[in-house]
């Protein structure tokens, strides 16, 4: 009878002297005339288990079938390892080859391991050490996020992916339709007749679950969403995806300061979780690509984020330019939206720690943000991080129906599609706040990767939707 499989992660913790069965993919095979050494990985850990095979007439034909990438099962004795690197190894007695791997055609060759190349074989890149580590970190962090909110009594609300509200980001939305594009039904004005479309109106993929999140918060108190988000912004940057995941907590009775406190504690807790639970993977990424990664992660946990008004931020940036300390591609003055280069100057050069910027001009922020007394600024807050720039965007929400309606009119938005949202202000309105954390931006920070396409398994970007 075949014994049951043990994962490599567990094997490496076990005492020598037992019979074990490991299954996985061959990372390398080497050896001499007498013995072969196979490094086997099964995805449970960044570490491989070493398999030692005696070469003889029985094993030679099997070894001949085994090359990098092949899938095998190995039964044998777990013995103390004489070589360095691991405590135990498997002395093979019985090897099953599940799948051979053609060494010539296998897409993961030593000769090209650039991230760019690996993106072109994104269907195979999870087999690399680097992407194994990233996938595991992604999974762990998703768990950590749910854990954080659940342990604090937040309710996980599922907000729709298909939406008829174009309140946010019109023009940035992917339309959802079953109309025949070769024969679109038209109304009297010659425009597409959406009454004939699947939902009887124009619909798109969501750019944020916030508005629906507010419906949850104004009933359940503290809620969060965590789901796919879609933005058709044609920006080919290392920080933007067309499909990404966003975490959006929304809390009744939180003002902007409570919101900032939560954002800071949340992010610090996640980074702490990563260091405590995923250290092997982080250490691998640190040693391989980015020697300052662990230091940066620890730095964030142990520092108080700077809290700064937008107006002061602009003054600092203007002064830096005037003093010749920096030149920016995009000019800076009060009223402009900050570009990543500006955000990173504040974080990396001026303060050398994360910054939460508040009090943005109302004209560059969304209609629902709470208006300040000055009539010019709103209670927005962006959390700015080293190497990334904006990682979180949020605000206290405008709770007053009249102010909200006035703002909607000023922006010449249609109130009609927003009546359901305005009902939260009409019936038992309450002060509340929330924010959105881009899951991949968080992962960029935690993995130290520099391109957002490398922290999501199957990136969707302009002109790219392979697999």
Residue 362 touching ligand ATP (CB under 6 A): no
Does 438 contact ligand ATP by CB under 6 A? yes
- Scanning 194-202, 293-301, 398-406, 437-445 for contacts with ligand ATP by CB under 6 A, the matching segment is 437-445
Question: Closer CB to ligand ATP, residue 118 or residue 384?
Answer: 384
Candidate residues 440, 445, 449, 459; the one interacting with ligand ATP per rule CB under 6 A: 440
Sheet holding 175-176, edge to edge: 162-163, 203-205, 175-176
Closest CB to ligand ATP among 309 and 337?
337
**To the nearest whole angstrom, how small is the minimum distance from the Cβ of residue 246 to Mn ion?**
11
The answer to whether residue 250 forms part of the interface with ligand ATP (CB under 6 A) is no
CA–CA separation, 145 and 272 (whole Å)? 12
Nearer to ligand ATP, 127 or 344 (CB): 344
Residue 323 CA to residue 338 CA, distance in Å, equals 19
DSSP 127: G
Q: Burial-class residue 73 by CB neighbours within 10 Å (0-12, 13-18, 19+).
A: middle
Give the CB-nearest residue to Mn ion. Answer: 393
Q: Residue 329: count other Cβ atoms within 10 Å of its Cβ.
A: 8
DSSP 234: -
Indicate which of ligand ATP, Mn ion, none lies near residue 246 (CB less than 5 to 8 Å, by partner kind): ligand ATP
Selection from ligand ATP, Mn ion, none that 353 binds (CB < 5 to 8 A by kind) is: none
Pick the binder of ligand ATP from 393, 434, 448, 459 (CB under 6 A).
393
**Cβ neighbours of residue 72 under 8 Å, at least 6 residues apart?**
23, 24, 25, 26, 38, 40, 66, 95, 96, 97, 98
Q: Which two tokens stand for residue 276?
A: 């405590």
CA angle centred on 296, ends 293 and 299, rounded to 5° = 150
Question: Considering only residues 148, 149, 244, 445, which one is a binding residue for ligand ATP as defined by CB under 6 A?
Answer: 244
Instruction: State the minimum distance, in angstroms, from the CB of residue 245 to Mn ion.
Output: 16
Residue number with CB closer to ligand ATP (362 or 441): 441
433 neighbors 399 (Cβ within 8 angstroms): no
Site string for ligand ATP, 178-217 (x = CB under 6 A): ----------------------------------------
Q: Is 459 in the site for ligand ATP (CB under 6 A)?
A: no
- Tell me if residue 438 falls in helix, strand or coil: strand
CA distance 41 to 62: 19
* Residues at the interface with Mn ion (CB under 5 A): 393
Footprint on this chain of ligand ATP (rule: CB under 6 A) = 231, 233, 240-241, 244, 246, 390-393, 436-438, 440-441
């Amino acid at each position: 009878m075949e014994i049951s499989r043990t994962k490599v992660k567990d094997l490496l913790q076990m005492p020598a002297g037992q019979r074990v069965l490991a299954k996985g993919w061959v990372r390398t095979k080497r050896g001499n005339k007498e013995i072969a050494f196979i490094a086997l990985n099964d995805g449970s850990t960044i570490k491989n288990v070493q398999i030692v095979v005696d070469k003889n007439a029985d094993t030679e034909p099997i070894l001949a079938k085994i090359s990098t990438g092949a899938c095998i099962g190995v039964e044998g004795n777990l013995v103390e390892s004489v070589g360095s690197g691991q405590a135990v190894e498997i002395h093979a007695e019985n090897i099953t080859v599940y799948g051979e791997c053609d060494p010539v055609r296998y897409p993961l060759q030593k000769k090209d391991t650039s991230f760019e190349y690996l993106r072109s074989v994104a269907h195979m890149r999870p087999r690399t050490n680097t992407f194994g580590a990233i996938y595991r970190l992604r999974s762990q962090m998703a768990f950590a996020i749910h854990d954080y909110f659940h342990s604090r009594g937040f309710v996980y609300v599922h907000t729709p992916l298909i939406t008829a509200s174009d309140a946010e980001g019109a023009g940035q939305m992917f339309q959802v339709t079953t109309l025949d594009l070769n024969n679109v039904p038209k109304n009297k004005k010659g425009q597409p007749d959406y009454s004939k479309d699947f939902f009887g109106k124009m619909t798109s993929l969501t750019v944020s679950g916030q508005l629906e999140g507010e419906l949850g918060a104004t009933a359940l108190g503290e809620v969060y969403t965590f789901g796919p988000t879609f933005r058709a912004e044609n920006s080919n940057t290392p920080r933007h995806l067309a499909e990404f995941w966003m975490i959006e907590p929304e809390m009744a009775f939180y003002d902007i300061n409570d919101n900032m406190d939560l954002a800071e504690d949340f992010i610090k807790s996640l980074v702490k979780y990563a260091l405590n639970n995923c250290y092997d993977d982080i250490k691998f990424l640190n040693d391989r690509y980015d020697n300052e990664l662990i230091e940066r992660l620890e730095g964030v946990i142990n520092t108080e984020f700077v809290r700064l008004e937008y107006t002061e931020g602009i003054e600092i940036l203007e002064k830096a330019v005037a003093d010749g300390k920096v030149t920016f591609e995009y000019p800076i003055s009060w009223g402009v939206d900050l570009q990543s280069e500006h955000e990173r100057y504040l974080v990396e050069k001026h303060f050398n720690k994360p910054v939460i910027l508040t009090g943005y001009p109302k004209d560059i922020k969304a209609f629902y943000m709470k208006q300040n007394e000055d009539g010019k600024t709103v209670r927005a807050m962006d959390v700015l991080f080293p190497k990334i720039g904006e990682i979180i965007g949020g605000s206290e929400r405008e709770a007053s129906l009249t102010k909200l309606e006035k703002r909607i009119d000023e922006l010449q938005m249609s109130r009609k599609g927003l009546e359901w949202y305005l009902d939260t202000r009409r019936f038992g309105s309450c002060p509340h706040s929330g924010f959105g954390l881009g899951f991949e931006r968080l992962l960029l920070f935690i993995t130290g990767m520099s391109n957002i396409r490398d922290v999501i398994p199957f990136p969707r970007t302009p002109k790219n939707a392979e697999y």
